[in-house]
Chain A
Amino acid sequence: MHYEGEMILDAPLQKVWEFVSDPRSTPEYVPLLKKLEIHDEKNFTVMVGIGVGSISGTFKLDFVIAEEIPPHSCKLVATGSGIKSTVELEAIVHLSEAPDQKTSFKWSAEAMVAGLIAGVGQRLLGMAAEKTMNEVFARMQTSLERKDAEHAGQAAEASESNQAM
């Protein structure tokens, strides 16, 4: 199955890249993330809650960062299982500059789903993927804004303390 989409994030390209290319930020934007294990620079495992139609449960996905062209693109390959299902996933993310210091986030994914989810939820998978991605982007945006604010706060604090000195 093929999925794709595009969103505009209100943050500059470099900042978005730093955020999304670091697996440690995944808890901030992946909904229902139950566990993250970072094995090394290229490999990490997530346990994530998934709900499709009448089925819900936990999926364990092993990710490999297969290709990276900073700050523009990366390719992720994942295999995983859970909820009596197996998935093989290949996802590509393309970032590019958009007007007004924004960033275009284009993504596409090829998923091979087998087992219960394929049987029960196949027709619902597209909708579920879209809904999840919307939430991912919303959370990304919030995180990026919060980082901005924190950054600004830290900067203000720093300048205050500087003044105090």
Chain B
Amino acid sequence: MPKKWVGTSIKRKEDESMLTGEAVYVDDIHLPGMLHCAILRSDYAHANIKSIDVSEAKKLPGVIEIITGEDVKEYPLTPGVEKSAFKMKSPAKYAYPLALGKVIYAGQPIAAVAAVDKYIAEDALDLIRVQYEPLTPITNMEQALSEDAPLIYPEWEGNVQLEIPTKAGDVDAAFAEADRVIKVKIGEHRYGSFQLEGRAAIADYKPRAGTLHVWLSSQASSAPRAYFARTLKIPEQKVNVTVPCVGGAFGTKLNWSVETLPCLLSMKTARPVKYIENKIETITIGPHARDFVYHGEIACKNDGTILGIKADVMYDAGVECSYRGTAAAKCLIMMRYFLGQYKINHYTFLARAVVTNKAFQCSYRAFGKEAGSRFAERMINIVARELGISQEEIRLKNFIQPEEFPYRTASGALYDSGDYPGTLKRVLKLADIPSLREEQARLKEEGRYLMGIGIASFVQPAGAAVPEGYLNGMEGATLKLMPEGGFKLLTAHCTMGQGIMTTLAQVVADEFAVTPGDVNIIVGDADKAPISMGGFSSRGAAWVVGAVVTVSRKLKEKVLKVGAHMLKVEKGEVELSEGKVQVKNDPSQSLTLQELATTVHFWPGPLNVLPADLLYTDPSLDATAYWTAPNPPVSWTVPSNLYATHPNGAEVATVLIDKETGVITVPKHFVIYDCGTLINPDIVKHQYIGGSLQGINGILNEEICYDENAQPTTTSYMDYLIPGSHEMIGKTVFEHQETPSPFTPLGCKGMGEAGTFGSISSVMNAVEDALGITITKTPLKPHTMLAYIKEAQEKGTL
């Protein structure tokens, strides 16, 4: 039997290149005559610009071009999501690559310089004089919603960009039937991913040919090609986007507004222009994520059955949440997934995106779905504690059952498959809850540490197709059987750490009974491959694998047909085995793929080899195919399903809180994760663990802070605490569960964002378990924890 590669943890093919410095990132690319771009950013969060004087800066030797808002009036930014889709107010008037007359957040680009080196470009920024007339900045949602709040967009009546009320079932009846109504407030602060590689782009405009080629650090290549074409008014057939290796993205590289600046400078100078973001820009501009607060009333029975919910979410989107980031729409996802894994059929829900003078937002492991999950997983624990029942029991009481899949939630999502009670029971056993409780009691006796045990059981929507926008549902791939017998897979998908150079090769290898080494993956070049929406929303394993399987099967049909013709048997009589086409009952009659391909292409060539119907219609050994999910989203309106698959997982985390210092550590983390059919189990496991660390450190230590003038005050890693060795999770015990999705060809579900779903909830639930009180303020930094410990002592819950 040929070896199955799908399901095998082979080593990642891409790592050696990356670890030895051989891999090429945007900054490694040098073009002849290339200029370097630096961006002058707004000092103020909210101000009118009275004047900009670039005359002195232009005199600096080595400065070639400087552009300001006046130069980009013809190039308004293109929205990521069409505003008409869900009655979102448009900030179009303010959406230009450079500020026009007014700035609305600290760090907004005001001018861009192109110079012969990056030092001169940076020096030139200091010579540009900007006269501001400061306006009152809005620093938080409360202020934004107050009656006398200044308007960030004066055309709007207020500072709310999006307000959507929804409901399901009969919430009044549910509340009338309830034994208890429990109030919850669940929120999270603003933080971000800040990967090693910040934003990076090289634009090369050739005025005579009229072409623009952009090398871009991005999560997609097809979408930015269309974006640049439309924004810069260049026909798309003359634009290409190449995405080399990407040093991390996590959702932040799905908007390309700043990257239009090197393009515009290249168009002005007719020279290639490189822009590499510096670390201060990365941290202050982000885009950031989170910063939401849910208020909810939960109607429940005394036995823990949840009957209905009245809730709302307020989301502090910062500015420009449709033209720069695409964040306002996030609160619709927060609404769609606030029910988690639970059967709750009656609710009212109000989603609101509020604008403030903070930097714009985008996704960060994930796009509001993680926030929805947080509400479900925190709410259920708070209710359990109020009712005096266990975290385990309340979940088991309210779960959607395995036989109910595919399950349409009251909020419109279509959950494909899973076994929520089974997954939870497995993780409880894995963690050995009774022994953890014993350890907790012993530590309590000893007195120094408070131990907490937290459970989370989450559903993780994966594989979005975003209606009415650049991130819609269309995924193509091309596969070539090369004359020498190997395969080239061409996809415009991008590699940014997911391990796709390995996993996609495993998928093709299984389809053709070859090895992953026989398959080379060409990624990230919009012009080399059919349209791909790129890597976001954990969509690779659903959409890209869907396209790769489809194209493999299409090409396989052709290869078998040619092979049978060459072996002079019927097509049904041949099969693929170990790199050969062979006759099923007689392996002695076979052709290697190399013999087949070489024969067709060169010796003697197609004329005497291909069956007549192929020869004159489709003589190649290439195929191109597209895949789209069978459960496609049709609109933003409820009920509509936005995600192809819905992986799930269950976690137990333990925390130790040092009573004297308030420092939290996470010594143990137990996970059962189900993302359907596994392609490479170790890649899934390690992405999950990495994401968990991001999630846990985010909730414990990371925070983007602004002062009373909306000036960002966390602008370096001295103030913004990224995880170091001390913040690592002590021990992770991770096991897989496989419930295939009925909606994807191999049953795979996307998993890239999973780590931030359960980890944050299980850690917060563990902290509450340790203290016996409800936590509403994050991050859980030592001084915050000391205050909570005091509160718990006063309430006598310790």
Report which A residues bind B (CB closer than 8 A).
54, 57-58, 81-86, 112, 114-116, 118-120, 122-123
Contacts and interface: CB of A to CB of B under 8 A. Distances in A.
Nearest to A87: B43
B44 A122 contact: no
A145 to B, nearest CB: 37
B790 interface: no
The 4 A-B pairs of least Cβ separation, nearest first, read: A115-B43, A119-B715, A114-B43, A86-B43
B719 to A, nearest CB: 8
A120 B43 contact: no
B358 to A, nearest CB: 13
B298 interface: no
A116 B715 CA distance: 8
Contacts of B130: 81, 86
Given A81-B130, A84-B40, A86-B44, 11 more contacts: A57-B126, A81-B129, A84-B126, A86-B130, A114-B106, A115-B43, A115-B106, A115-B711, A119-B106, A119-B712, A122-B707
Contacts of B106: 114-115, 119
B390 interface: no
B716 interface: yes
Nearest to A121: B715
B713 interface: yes
A84 B43 CA distance: 7
B716 A120 contact: yes
Interface residues of B, number: 22
Contact of A122 (B40, B132, B280, B713): B713
B709 interface: yes
Contacts of B711: 114-115, 118-119, 122
With most chain A CB atoms within 10 A of its CB, the pick from B106, B132, B707, B711 is B711
Contacts of A120: 280, 715-716
A149 B712 CA distance: 50
Contact of A84 (B41, B134, B713): B41
A160 B617 CA distance: 116
A115 B709 CA distance: 11
Contacts of B284: 119
A28 to B, nearest CB: 26
A118 B43 CA distance: 9
Contacts of A84: 40-41, 43, 125-126
A54 B709 contact: no
A119 B712 CA distance: 5
Contacts of A85: 43
A7 B143 CA distance: 41
Interface in B111-133: 125-126, 129-130, 132
Given A81-B130, A83-B126, A118 B713 contact: yes
Given A54-B716, A115-B106, A82 B280 contact: no
Contact of A82 (B126, B712, B716): B126
A114 B44 contact: yes
20 contacts: A54-B716, A57-B126, A81-B43, A82-B126, A83-B126, A84-B125, A86-B43, A86-B130, A112-B134, A114-B106, A115-B43, A115-B44, A115-B106, A116-B43, A116-B280, A119-B284, A119-B715, A120-B280, A122-B707, A123-B713
Nearest to B713: A122
Contacts of B713: 118-119, 122-123
Contacts of A116: 43, 280, 715
Contacts of A112: 134, 709
Nearest to A119: B715
B60 to A, nearest CB: 14
Contact of A119 (B125, B126, B129, B280): B280
Contacts of A58: 126
B117 to A, nearest CB: 18
With most chain A CB atoms within 10 A of its CB, the pick from B40, B126, B707 is B126
A127 to B, nearest CB: 14
A119 B44 CA distance: 11
Interface in B683-733: 707, 709, 711-713, 715-716
A82 B123 CA distance: 10
Nearest to B123: A57
B658 to A, nearest CB: 25
A125 to B, nearest CB: 11
Nearest to A120: B715
